[in-house]
Amino acid sequence: MSREVRGTRGDANGAGDVTGELRRLIVEGVYPPGCRLVQDELADRFGVSRIPLREAMRTLASEGLLRTTPGRGTFVTVLDLEEIDEIYNLRRLVEPSFAEHVTERVSRRDISRFDAMAKEMERVAETAADSWSRTNLAFHLDMYRLSRLPLRYEIISGMYHRLEPYSRFYVHGTAAYERVQCEHAAMVQALADGDAEELARQIVLHIDGGQHGLHAAWENSGNTIEAYWAETGR
């Protein structure tokens, strides 16, 4: 798929602002996998010159979110199923290692916040897909940020960002909310109990369920994510 998206003027001011906003638009599927990014149009959208825009695009390319093809342009990275499986396998290695550090540092206020996030996701599951996905991403990354392991966190947040458009394809395409929300509730309970071993176990179950569900969604869509973006009108 090669799709151009032309936006409207925004209010980002520098390379850092542009990087964060463009990352968000890619992660949320506004610029879906395979979309060709047009520098002039992006500069107009964000209200910046091409210099900070190029810097932002270089940063996102280094994160694996963008790929440049000589003579063709810069595109949002498309992952095949083998690459998606590699990310899930890496997550399975890295994420459980956060559990002990998070349970040592989590506060009662943090636990209440994660519980509220899980309940908010349950409330909006059938009516607000974007809100559900933003909260879901924050639920996981905010939890891992508590570990105070910045290098490990940088690695895992990059994996989440690269996988997020595909996670949305799976969750919203198959309405897999009930399973996901049960697993979130179990994670919150493990945090409340201070049980690092159980939290690690629930994290692995969550990863396993996501990988299996995405495979099923991919197969049902004709082995391509393009059908999802076409159906949702992104």
Q: What is the pLDDT of residue 219?
A: 79
- As a whole number, mean pLDDT of residues 22-50 equals 90
> Per-residue confidence at 128, pLDDT binned at 50, 70, 90?
confident
Domain at 81-232, CATH homologous superfamily? GntR ligand-binding domain-like (1.20.120.530)
For residues 144-167, average pLDDT: 95
Under the banding of pLDDT at 50, 70 and 90, the label for residue 4 is very low
Q: Is 175 left (phi over 0), alpha (psi -120 to 50) or beta?
A: left
- Is residue 102 packed enough to be buried (19+ CB in 10 Å), middle (13-18) or exposed (0-12)? buried
Please compute the mean of the pLDDT values over residues 30-42 and round it to a whole number. Answer: 90
The alpha carbon dihedral of 170, 156, 132, 193 has a sign of positive
| More confident of the two residues 175 and 177 | 177
Grade residue 231 by pLDDT with cuts at 50, 70 and 90.
low
What is the full DSSP assignment across the chain?
--EE---------SHHHHHHHHHHHHHTTSS-TTEEE-HHHHHHHHT--HHHHHHHHHHHHHTTSEEEETTTEEEEPPP-HHHHHHHHHHHHHHGGGGHHHHHHH--HHHHHHHHHHHHHHHHHTTT-HHHHHHHHHHHHHHHHHTT--HHHHHHHHHHHHHHHHHHHHHHHHHT-HHHHHHHHHHHHHHHHHT-HHHHHHHHHHHHHHHHHHHHHHHHHTTS-SHHHHHHHT-
Count CB neighbours of 32 within 10 A: 24
Q: How far apart are CA 234 and CA 222, in angstroms?
A: 18
Average of per-residue pLDDT across 44-65: 91
pLDDT at 50: 85
What confidence tens digit (pLDDT) does each residue in 220-230 have?
A: 775 556 666 65
CATH value of 3-76 in 1.10.10.10, 3.40.50.300, 3.40.50.150, 3.40.50.800: 1.10.10.10
Q: What is the mean pLDDT of residues 49-60?
A: 91
Q: How far apart are CA 154 and CA 165, in angstroms?
A: 18
Most confident of 24-28, 42-46, 100-104, 225-229: 100-104
Contact assessment for residue 42 and residue 6, using Cβ atoms and an 8 Å cutoff: no
- 185-218 residue pLDDT tens: 999 999 999 999 999 999 999 999 999 988 888 8
Q: Considering all CA atoms of the chain, what is the largest pairwise distance in Å, rounded to the nearest integer?
A: 56
Query: 129 pLDDT band (50/70/90 cuts)?
Result: confident
Overall average pLDDT of the 127-153 stretch: 93
Q: Rounded to whole angstroms, how far apart are CA atoms 32 and 46? A: 18
141 vs 12, higher pLDDT: 141
Token digits of residue 34: 């395979």
Say if residue 184's pLDDT is above 90: yes
- Structure confidence by residue, pLDDT tens digits, 81-115: 899 999 999 999 999 999 999 999 999 999 999 99
User: Domain boundaries in the chain?
Assistant: 3-76, 81-232
13 contacts: CB under 8 Å, gap ≥ 6: 47, 48
Percent of the chain past pLDDT 70, that is, above it, reads 86
CA distances in angstroms from 25 to 28, 30, 35, 124, 218, listed in the order given: 5, 5, 11, 21, 22
